[in-house]
Each structure stands twice: as structure tokens, then as C-alpha cells.
């Protein structure tokens, strides 16, 4: 079987986090005997062909080097909202489509498009397409009528549509009318072997981009509320973003700067070391597509507290045992914190959940699932 990945995100160098999970998936598919090629955009003029292990990668030029900036930087969703962004997407669409046609002529039997925009839009119809939504693209369907109009024919032409959580499957069905069944819901892979079981003692941790949607302020207010009860719990915040200054100011306002450490953005390879001493994770975000950091915590045996309106993270965090679900309020998070810390079985429960997620997210497991989708698409 010969499959072409079509994507706007794929690692540009060793250690690059952009689309790193796709590189793990491609390598695992190759181990299953599937030939994989990747079509991805150039970045600021850095295009051309390369080989990543047994995977061929073609980076296509789509504009002058100074204008090749809409991939790899987390601004793809914003591009669809402006005329200039749409023009840039048009150039990228044409470049991806031309390269995909070349791959089909060379023998590719199937396109696996990652994100409906721009990859799904660019996929030729001459071979079957498996379309996977990863989060930001499906979230667009919940808030943009333009996105829904553009996306509807893309999802309709796909032989198989998949999503990484049940929440996201609902966004797709409500947005474009394409039903995504349980057999087509599966997260993308993680290099699970790098996680070790926590020894505890390091306090609470948040791993998130510091935006308003992540609601990291709730974790800070929870720590402040606990201090009024005489409970002192250290908190490490891993991540950066536009809300960082406001969050640092809030920590000062709550007089908890001695208990809160802002570690900034860290490479994914450094996250297991943070989790290896954590006692619990706060995941207060609203409307998540999946919630990978919560799964990473469980893979380290760290219990997780999430909110009932957390979206896809509720696929990961249980109500009891390895986790708690609460209202998005500081006192509710505080109650859940004290409940977890007083639960003698929490670490055993978290390890049991972690074993499940280590297996479910292992690249070879995800590759087996994807091969099933490919055979379904080819059969259709």
C-alpha cells in the first residue's frame, strides 16, 4: 500500500515540534510495510525534497520566501478570516494540489489529509481520501459560517473522516453534517516510552499555551483559595502565550508568588521530567479538541483535574480514581484537589489509566488503526 500524507505541518528538523506526531505515525506505518510519502509546505523559502528515515518528504514552494509564513506558526486558522490570508491559502492550496497529483501519478493509492484546511481542500479526487481533523480546523466549524461553507464539500468528498476525540466528532457533525462514528475516533500517536511513573512531591502542574481559552487563572485562584484554608501546594506552569503577563500579575495579587513557578515554554522532550515529580495536574481549559497534556500526565501516573465544559479532554479524564471533573470555579477545583490528595489509591488508579493511554497512543497502535481506515477507504 502506498499512502501520501498531505499536511501543512511536518517537522522541519530534528527536535521540531511542528507536526511531530505525524513523523511518529509515518515511521510506524512504514514498520507495517506501508510506503509513506509526505507533502508539506516550504517554510520561508526552505523547500525541496528530503528523506526522513524511510519516509520521503517533499516541501513545496507556494510564495516568495518572505511570504511563506502561514504554516508552522499556528496562524492557519486566522488566515481564513482575511482576504490576504485567503490569497496566501490559495497559493498553498495550488502547490499542495500539484504535488499531490505528482504523487498519484507516481503510484500513491490514497491521500491521508491532515486538517481539512488546507490539506483536505487540496486533495485531488482521483484517489480515495482519509481526512483527519486534529482540533483547530474542527473548532473553526463551531464559530465561522465561512469555514462551514468551505469545509462542507471537503468532508463530503472524503471516503473516511476521522477525529481525535468524540467532542471533535460532534463539532464536525454539527458544522458540516458528516457523521463520525466511534470507529473513526482515535487520538494521534505519542512517543509513550519516554514517560516514567511519578515519584510525587513536586506539587501541581499546568501544561498549556497561556491563552484565555486555557483558563490557567482558575489554577492560580485555586492555589490562592487553598492558601486561605491553610493548605500550601506548589504550582508549576509550563507554557507561554499572550496571557502570561496577566497571570503573573494575578499571582502577585493573590500573594502566591512564592508557590508559583512560571517555567515558560519547554520542548516536548522536557515535559516527562516535569511530570515525573508532579502530584496532580490542573487542566481547566474550556472546549478542548482532545487534551494531550492530560493524557501525558496519566501516562506518568499523575491524576488530573478537569472541568465539565472541557470538551475533548473528558475523553481522557475520569470522574473518579485517576481524575476529577469539576465546575470551572476556584472553590470547586480546591475541593477536587483536597479530595485527590486525600485519596490513598490515587496513584494506583492513575497508573492503571496511564497503562491504558500508553498503549492507546503508542505509534504502532495508532498505525494499526490508520491502516484499517486506509483499507476501508480503498474498499469504498
Residues 277, 246: contact at Cβ < 8 Å?
A: no
The model's pTM is 0.89
* pLDDT at residue 77 greater than cutoff 80: no
CATH topology of domain 2-189+362-379: Rossmann fold (3.40.50)
- Higher-pLDDT residue of 267 and 252 is 252
In whole angstroms, how far apart are CA 89 and each of 37, 66, 94, 140?
A: 22, 15, 9, 15
Are 2-189+362-379 and 192-360 in the same CATH fold? yes
Long-range contacts of residues 242-246, Cβ cutoff 8 Å, at least 24 apart: 242/210, 242/211, 243/210, 243/211, 243/212, 243/214, 243/216, 243/217, 244/210, 246/217
Across the chain, mean pLDDT equals 93
Cell of 318: 475520569
Q: Quick one: 192-360 is in which CATH superfamily?
A: Glycogen Phosphorylase B; (3.40.50.2000)
> How far is residue 235's CA from residue 214's CA, in Å, rounded to a whole number?
16
Q: How confident is the model at residue 91 (pLDDT cuts 50, 70, 90)?
A: confident
In whole angstroms, how far apart are CA 318 and each of 302, 303, 310, 376?
A: 13, 10, 12, 31
Q: How confident is the model at residue 53 (pLDDT cuts 50, 70, 90)?
A: confident
Q: How many residues does the chain have?
A: 380
Residues 323, 305: contact at Cβ < 8 Å?
A: yes
- Sign, Cα dihedral of 93, 95, 97, 99: negative
Q: List the chain domain ranges.
A: 2-189+362-379, 192-360
Least confident of 77-81, 266-270, 288-292, 331-335: 77-81
User: Angle, nearest 10°, between helix axes 363-379 and 20-31?
Assistant: 70
> How far is residue 267's CA from residue 287's CA, in Å, rounded to a whole number?
24
What was the pLDDT predicted at 17? 80
Residues 310, 326: contact at Cβ < 8 Å?
A: no
Q: What is the mean pLDDT of residues 269-276?
A: 94
The tens digit of pLDDT for each residue in 133-191 reads 998 899 999 999 999 999 999 999 999 999 999 999 999 999 999 999 999 999 999 99
Place of cell 476556584: 330
**13-38 per-residue burial string, b: 16 or more CB within 10 A, e: under 16:** eeeeebbbbbbbbbbbbbeeebbbbb
The tens digit of pLDDT for each residue in 195-237 reads 999 999 999 999 999 999 999 999 999 999 999 998 899 999 9
Q: How many CA atoms lie within 13 A of 309 on its CB side?
A: 8
> How far is residue 339's CA from residue 325's CA, in Å, rounded to a whole number?
11
What was the pLDDT predicted at 358? 97
Q: How confident is the model at residue 80 (pLDDT cuts 50, 70, 90)?
A: low
- Give residue 20's Cα distance to chain centre: 10
What was the pLDDT predicted at 267? 85
Amino acid at each position: 500500500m502506498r499512502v501520501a500524507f498531505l499536511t501543512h505541518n511536518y517537522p522541519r528538523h530534528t527536535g521540531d515540534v511542528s507536526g511531530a506526531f505525524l513523523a511518529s505515525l509515518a515511521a510506524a506505518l512504514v514498520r507495517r510495510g506501508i510506503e509513506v510519502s509526505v507533502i508539506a509546505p516550504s517554510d520561508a523559502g526552505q523547500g525541496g525534497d528530503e528523506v526522513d528515515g524511510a519516509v520521503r518528504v517533499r516541501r513545496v514552494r507556494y510564495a516568495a520566501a518572505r511570504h511563506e509564513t502561514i504554516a508552522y506558526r499556528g496562524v492557519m486558522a486566522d488566515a481564513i478570516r482575511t482576504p490576504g490570508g485567503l490569497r496566501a491559502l490559495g497559493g498553498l492550496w495550488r502547490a499542495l494540489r500539484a504535488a499531490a497529483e505528482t504523487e498519484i501519478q507516481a503510484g500513491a493509492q490514497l491521500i491521508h489529509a491532515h486538517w481539512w484546511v488546507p490539506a483536505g481542500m487540496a486533495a485531488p479526487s482521483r484517489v480515495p481520501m482519509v481526512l483527519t481533523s486534529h482540533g483547530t480546523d474542527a473548532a473553526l466549524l463551531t464559530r465561522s459560517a465561512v469555514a462551514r461553507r468551505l469545509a462542507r464539500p471537503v468532508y463530503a468528498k472524503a471516503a473516511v473522516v476521522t477525529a481525535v476525540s468524540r467532542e471533535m466528532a460532534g463539532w464536525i457533525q454539527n458544522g458540516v453534517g458528516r457523521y463520525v462514528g466511534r470507529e473513526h475516533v482515535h487520538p494521534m500517536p505519542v512517543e509513550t516510552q519516554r514517560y516514567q511513573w511519578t515519584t510525587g512531591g513536586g506539587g501541581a502542574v499546568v501544561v498549556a499555551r497561556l491563552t484565555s481559552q486555557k483558563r490557567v487563572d482558575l489554577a492560580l485562584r485555586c492555589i490562592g483559595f487553598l492558601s486561605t484554608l491553610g493548605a500550601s501546594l506548589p504550582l508549576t506552569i509550563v507554557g507561554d502565550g499572550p496571557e502570561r503577563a496577566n497571570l503573573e500579575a494575578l499571582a502577585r495579587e493573590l500573594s502566591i508568588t512564592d508557590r508559583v513557578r512560571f517555567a515558560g515554554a519547554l520542548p516536548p522532550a522536557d515535559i516527562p521530567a516535569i511530570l515525573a515529580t508532579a502530584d496532580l495536574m490542573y487542566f481547566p481549559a474550556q472546549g478542548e479538541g482532545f487534551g494531550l497534556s492530560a493524557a501525558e500526565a496519566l501516562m506518568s501516573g499523575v491524576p488530573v483535574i478537569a472541568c465539565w465544559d472541557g470538551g475533548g479532554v473528558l475523553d481522557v479524564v475520569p470522574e473518579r480514581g485517576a481524575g476529577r471533573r469539576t465546575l470551572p470555579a476556584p472553590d470547586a477545583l480546591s475541593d477536587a484537589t483536597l479530595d485527590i490528595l486525600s485519596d490513598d489509591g490515587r496513584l494506583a488508579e492513575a497508573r492503571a489509566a496511564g497503562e491504558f493511554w500508553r498503549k492507546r497512543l503508542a505509534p504502532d497502535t495508532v498505525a494499526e488503526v490508520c491502516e484499517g481506515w486506509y483499507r476501508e477507504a480503498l474498499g469504498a
